[in-house]
Structure 1
Amino acid sequence: MDNLMISSLTQKSENSEQHIYPPLSYGWYVTVLLTIIYILSFVDRQILSLLVEPIKSDMNLSDTQIGLLMGASFAIFYSTMGLPLGWLADNMPRKYLLGAGLAVWSAATALSGLAQSFKHLFIARILVGAGEASLGPCAISLISDVMPPSQRSRAIAVYSSALSFALAIAYLLGGQIMKFADGLDLTFIPFMADLKSWQLVLIIVGSPGLLIALLVLTLKEPNRQYIDKNRSKGFNSIKRTFNYFGDHKRLFTKLFILPVTMTIITYSHNFIPSLFQREYGWDPVTLSIYIGTIIGLVGPCSTFFGGWLIDKMYSKGIEDASIIIMRIGGVIMVPTCIAMPLMPSPQLALVFYGFSLCGVTLITVSAWSSILGIVPPDLRGQATAIYLMVISMFGLMLGPTLVGVFNDFLFVGSDRLDLSMSLVSIIFGTLSLIMLPNIVKTYRAAIGIN
């Protein structure tokens, strides 16, 4: 009896230690800083879409080559480096890993501005992807360790909202930087005298991250929560992660379907500035004002609402809240993304884009919550890396590349960027909606709901 009491008290003590979180104010400080870094990462990644037409003109590139620059080049290391970096995020101070990654991708973005050929730009974009691969595993793992479960979905929603803020900043600020760079006279600087305006934009956008990388190093590494003291060490933990996903492959395969579809479709939207310029005659600066405003208003609001709603539903005992919200997001996203490029006017296209953004953000925040709810805490970094690897591999490789391939080879000589973008959404979106009821059923069974 005494042994049972001692064992019980010891277990309670260990659980109390495992459940200790830093002050909530510090947790939100870390979350906000990570959100700012996520914004920077997406600005660095997304700014290229605003520069498609001048880059295509100056380098005499095809839409397929542009698609490779916006997708495949970034995905090569962003996808493949995610898992080893996820292991590092689970086994070393995350601030050092994140700081190094931020410095690499920021420097690579700035160096993109010095590219003189497709090959140079392709290599620079590979380095951007390699650096950004460190962010996801570090950020989600850190948020999980500084925020208690009652606040975690909300914190993840704040972090996920960076996607919308980054898009808004990329369009609003990117358009103004393009305008500024056009009138900038740098002839008095020998190595910058011959740079095009799009090259100056990349240099300007990439530079701030080098300073913020220093700020990351000031973070205090939080205690890792709920760590099993008997867990696998070293690279055996990678094997354990793969074994865990292998043991639950049916669940994760289905759970990833809608986020993969979302990523394919959203990366195909990298051609939106070109769509508006070719179909409606809107220049990038004009588009940046309208679409940046829509993204800045709709994206964060729907993301925060999704995170709040999931937390609210969880508090009322609705254990499958995240998958319910994901389902709603899919039903909103697919039809609006199919219709958006086909609209007869730019105004209608922007309206449909706003609705599609609501669906995208709901899927984003609910996917993170769904995964964190079923993955062992000491595997979160690597699980996040696998998730990002899967959705990025498919999204970046297929989204922008297929739009370019369709337009260059399926609609030869007709330049039907509108049909090419819509076709991507039709193919992948329709398949996802057909699978949606089975996805929900499988997830509910996995968490013990009949």
Structure 2
Amino acid sequence: MTTIDPKPAEPATASETGPVTSAAYRAWVLFILVVVYTFNFIDRQITGILAVPIKADLNLADWQLSLMGGMAFALFYTFLGIPIAMFADRTSRTWIMTIALSVWSLMTAVCGLAQNFWHLFFARLGVGVGEAGGVAPAYSLISDYFPPHQRARALSIYSFGIPIGSALGIILGGILTDIIGWRAAFIIVGLAGLAIAPIFRLTMREPVRGQYDSKDADRSPAKLSAVFALLRSKGSFWTLAFGAASSSMMGYGLIFWLPSFFVRSFGEQLPEFMGFLPGFLLPADPTPISYAAYFYGTILFFGGMIGIWLGGALADRFGGNNKGAYALIPAWAFVATIPFFLVGVLVDNLTFVFISFVCLQALSLVWLGPVLTAFQHLVGPNMRATASAIFLFINNLIGIGLGNFIIGLISDGLRDRFGDESLRYAILSGFGFYVLAAVLLFITAPKLKRDWVG
């Protein structure tokens, strides 16, 4: 992992429980956090590619798949995130993340034992319980390991776990399904996450809370009422949060439903289009699921990595002199997604589909570095994990909980008219959420300078 060298000379930084940290150790911090976030998204998104065999094996409708992949996960993930984050603002964030990683990995493995819809639904609830403690504490840790002028890039590097984990979840899920079945796929990735937990705990130290903030910044634990009272006075927080949530409705919806869309609408074309793959990367008797896994996994990886890095680099470059840039950069990126969205969903040429979705994926994830950085600067160091959890509550309850479900419901409603192509038109109906996200972020931009802390 490439480290980020600071511009000014930094003071020695001691952890609360360990020795002075170095640039090399901070590089390790980012690396291990990315690894954990990668497993977070493998376990979260693997259901996208496994939805095809699960639907056939358990005889489920699209609305049931959407509940299993969306609301079942989002229910406890969103509601438990705030109390866990409040605890993280008061105690060891590294211990909280270790326990969270262990719980969500174990429950992912349990998904492989499900015998019906309700077994799977409650197992995904368990995954959500674990992942509720995985992200907000990490945002807070990064803010205490990296100074303000590096945070957008550091948070962008951390966010690489999204495309890496999503791509690996799709690819591993597809290949393992064709080789040993969807149940074993859940079990294997869950056990792999459990193996990472002790490594994370033994090597991740708790940094000094608020060490890069001003000396007069309040570091005493804040009550939830105090956090809400502060956020109520900051309109930029709410327009940022609902703008991100609008984009996440399509982001999570696409990650869950596009593998099924590619199999249903391009199943016969995929083997020829992906014919360049060497034989050792494929099962002995590959199905369209394996080809769709590589096709979409490649889109997620390259598009996501490009977009996330670009957003963080642009925010660090222009945000120092113009705080509004943290909202304007992703706003213009969302506007730019529209033509690529329309082409990717409507055309039948896989080359154009691939190029369009790579561009769409990149542009739709530009927001992560700038927006996450802005959230860290809207409150003091004693509130960061809690404020991040409130943002995640809004973003994920709307994004994960509603995005998957709405697309699945529309697809079922259009099935009598369009058959397997119903999913294409269900996905198409949602592009307006990117437009709404752009509008909300344009509204946010002039408010950020007034609301900025530090």
TM-score interval, smaller chain? 0.7 to 0.9
| SS of alignment partner, residue 377 of structure 1 | coil
Percentage identity across paired residues of the two chains: 29
Structure 1 residue 323 displacement after superposition:
1.6
From 193, 196, 210, the counterpart of 1:209: 193
The answer (yes or no) to whether the contact 1:68–1:401 under 8 Å persists in 2 is yes
Aligned to 1:378: 382
From 301, 309, 312, the counterpart of 1:304: 309
From 261, 275, 279, the counterpart of 2:261: 275
Cα distance in 2, alignment partners of residues 298 and 229 from structure 1: 38
The one-letter code of the counterpart of 1:288 is A
The answer (yes or no) to whether the contact 2:71–2:401 under 8 Å persists in 1 is yes
Cα distance in 2, alignment partners of residues 19 and 438 from structure 1: 40
Aligned to 1:264: 249
Question: Which structure's residues are more often helix, by fraction?
Answer: 1
From 167, 176, 182, the counterpart of 1:198: 182
| Count of residues in Structure 1 that have an aligned counterpart in Structure 2 | 414
TM-score calculated relative to the size of structure 1: 0.86
The answer (yes or no) to whether the contact 2:333–2:364 under 8 Å persists in 1 is yes
Please, which runs of 5 or more residues in structure 2 have no aligned partner? 1-9, 271-287
Once the two structures are superposed, the pairs formed by residues 397-408 of structure 1 within 5 Å of their partners are 397-408=401-412
Structure 1 residue 22 displacement after superposition:
2.8
Aligned to 2:346: 342
Worse overlay, 323-332 or 62-71: 323-332
Cα distance in 1, alignment partners of residues 93 and 99 from structure 2: 10
Once the two structures are superposed, the pairs formed by residues 41-190 of structure 1 within 5 Å of their partners are 41-181=40-180
Please, which runs of 5 or more residues in structure 1 have no aligned partner? 1-14, 182-196
Asked if residue 329 in structure 1 is aligned to residue 313 in structure 2, the reply is no
Asked if residue 420 in structure 1 is aligned to residue 404 in structure 2, the reply is no
Cα distance in 2, alignment partners of residues 314 and 350 from structure 1: 32
The answer (yes or no) to whether the contact 2:326–2:371 under 8 Å persists in 1 is yes
Asked if residue 438 in structure 1 is aligned to residue 433 in structure 2, the reply is no
Structure 1 residue 111 displacement after superposition:
0.4
| SS of alignment partner, residue 21 of structure 2 | coil
Root-mean-square deviation (Å)? 2.3
Structure whose CA Rg is larger: 1
Cα distance in 2, alignment partners of residues 57 and 437 from structure 1: 44
Cα distance in 1, alignment partners of residues 365 and 325 from structure 2: 15
Structure 1 residue 54 displacement after superposition:
1.0
Structure 1 residue 23 displacement after superposition:
1.8
Q: In structure 2, do the counterparts of structure 1 residues 230 and 251 end up closer, same or farther at CA, with 3 Å as the change threshold?
A: closer
Q: In structure 2, do the counterparts of structure 1 residues 80 and 16 end up closer, same or farther at CA, with 3 Å as the change threshold?
A: same
| SS of alignment partner, residue 309 of structure 1 | helix
The one-letter code of the counterpart of 2:145 is V
Q: In structure 2, do the counterparts of structure 1 residues 83 and 17 end up closer, same or farther at CA, with 3 Å as the change threshold?
A: farther
Q: In structure 2, do the counterparts of structure 1 residues 337 and 97 end up closer, same or farther at CA, with 3 Å as the change threshold?
A: same
1:24-70 Cα offsets, whole Å, 9 max, x none, are 22112111101110000100111111011111111111000000011
Q: In structure 2, do the counterparts of structure 1 residues 240 and 116 end up closer, same or farther at CA, with 3 Å as the change threshold?
A: same
Q: In structure 2, do the counterparts of structure 1 residues 18 and 34 end up closer, same or farther at CA, with 3 Å as the change threshold?
A: closer
The one-letter code of the counterpart of 2:427 is M
| SS of alignment partner, residue 172 of structure 2 | helix
Structure 1 residue 212 displacement after superposition:
1.0
1:114-163 Cα offsets, whole Å, 9 max, x none, are 00010000000001011011111111111111122232221111001111
| SS of alignment partner, residue 55 of structure 1 | helix
Q: In structure 2, do the counterparts of structure 1 residues 439 and 339 end up closer, same or farther at CA, with 3 Å as the change threshold?
A: farther
TM-score calculated relative to the size of structure 2: 0.86
